[in-house]
Amino acid sequence: MHSYKVITLPMTEDDMQDQTDYIVFDVKSPETAVNMARGFRKTINRAEYRTKRKDDHVRSAFLFFIPLI
């Protein structure tokens, strides 16, 4: 198993914060915002630890979150 370093840019952190703020304050669903933030972190953590694959020569990749709101 190889581990990879995932770096989130400040813009990514800002976008995740903006999305959770929107859900908390505009949609009025703080529980949903907490679940979404946990999902973001879980996805990032999962990307850091991946099993060895045939295309393992790829050592870096970009991870994009596309807002759905």
Please write the tens of the pLDDT for every residue from 6-60.
788 888 889 899 999 999 999 999 999 999 999 988 888 887 766 455 555 555 5
pLDDT at 57: 52
The pLDDT score that the predictor gives to residue 31 is 97
pTM to 2 decimal places:
0.64
Could you tell me which residues come within 8 angstroms of residue 32 by beta carbon, excluding any fewer than 6 positions away? 23
How far apart are alpha carbons 39 and 68 in whole angstroms?
Answer: 14
